[in-house]
Amino acid sequence: MPKTTPFLWFDKQAAEAAEFYVSLFPNSRITHVSRYGPGTPGTEGAVMTVSFSLDGTDFVALNGGPDFRFTEAISFQIDCATQEEVDHYWYGLTAGGGEEGDCGWLKDRYGLSWQVVPTALFELLGDPDGERAGRATQAMLRMHRLDIAELRRAADGAPARAGQP
Kindly give the pairing relationship between strand 105-107 and strand 7-10: unpaired
**Residue 163 predicted with pLDDT over 90:** no
Element (H, E) at 140: helix 130-141
Size of the chain, expressed as the number of residues it contains: 165
Question: What are the boundaries of each domain within the chain?
Answer: 1-65, 70-159
**Residue 165 predicted with pLDDT over 60:** no
Query: What pLDDT shows up at residue 160?
Result: 65
> Averaged over 61-67, what is the pLDDT?
97
Query: What CA–CA distance (Å, rounded) separates 51 from 85?
Result: 25
pLDDT band at 158 (very low <50, low <70, confident <90, very high): confident
> Averaged over 14-31, what is the pLDDT?
98
pLDDT tens digits, one per residue of 77-132: 999 999 999 999 999 999 999 999 999 999 999 999 999 999 999 999 999 999 99
> Averaged over 60-73, what is the pLDDT?
96
Q: Are 101 and 144 in contact (CB under 8 A)?
A: yes
CATH classification for the domain delimited by 1-65, as one of 3.10.310.10, 3.40.50.1220, 3.30.720.100, 1.10.10.10: 3.30.720.100
pLDDT band at 162 (very low <50, low <70, confident <90, very high): low
**Residue 24 predicted with pLDDT over 90:** yes
Collapsing DSSP to helix, strand or coil, 149 comes out as helix
Closest CA to 6 of 24, 148, 17: 17
Q: Report the CATH architecture of 70-159.
A: Roll (3.10)
